[in-house]
């Protein structure tokens, strides 16, 4: 349902259940009532709150709630395709204007504010083989390093 809401974004979640045929989503209306969806999203969490890192820890992962999903999707991308010898590493920006410490500002880019993602792609077919979100530790200034960016001939590892 959240994927569907991302494909067809509306100003408010409850608008997906609107009786107006131009706004409402019939599949979502048939799946569950809006009140049930709101209760589920209120109480169900996919991250273990007990494993939440302390906010004052200098090297804590700002994406600890999303890290299992990011790692799983990255592993699937890696396992599904073996890249050719022509690979490129580049950054991409996911537009975001909210308040998160990991948000980057790059003045000379088309997307000026957002989350920076490093990607290693096959240059021949533009397949994203590996990716990770750029995180700079704001307290120490250290940057997370990725061993897969530094590999040369062993590009498929």
* 106-133 pLDDT, tens digit each: 888 888 899 888 888 888 898 888 888 8
Strand-pairing partners, residue 95, are 114
DSSP 10: -
**pTM of the predicted model as reported, rounded to 2 decimal places:** 0.61
CA angle 67, 27, 8 (to 5 degrees): 55
110: number of Cβ within 10 Å? 7
- Predicted pLDDT at 36: 92
- Predicted pLDDT at 153: 46
Contacts of 141-144 with C-beta under 8 Å, sequence gap 24+, read 142/58, 142/59
* 62-71 pLDDT, tens digit each: 788 888 888 8
For 106, how many CA atoms within 13 A lie in the half-sphere containing its CB? 17
């Amino acid at each position: 349902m959240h994927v569907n809401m991302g494909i067809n974004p509306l100003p408010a979640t409850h608008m997906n259940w609107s009786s107006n045929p131009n706004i409402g989503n019939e599949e979502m209306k048939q799946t569950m009532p809006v009140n049930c969806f709101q209760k589920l999203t209120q109480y169900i969490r996919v991250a273990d709150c007990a494993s939440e890192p302390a906010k004052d820890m200098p090297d804590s992962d700002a994406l600890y709630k999303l890290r299992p999903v990011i790692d799983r999707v990255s592993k699937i991308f890696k396992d599904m395709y073996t890249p050719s010898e022509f690979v490129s590493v580049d950054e991409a920006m996911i537009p975001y204007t909210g308040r998160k410490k990991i948000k980057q500002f790059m003045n000379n880019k088309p997307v000026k504010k957002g989350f920076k993602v490093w990607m290693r792609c096959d240059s021949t077919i533009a397949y994203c083989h590996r990716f990770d979100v750029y995180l700079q530790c704001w307290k120490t200034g250290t940057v997370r390093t990725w061993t897969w960016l530094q590999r040369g001939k062993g590009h498929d590892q």
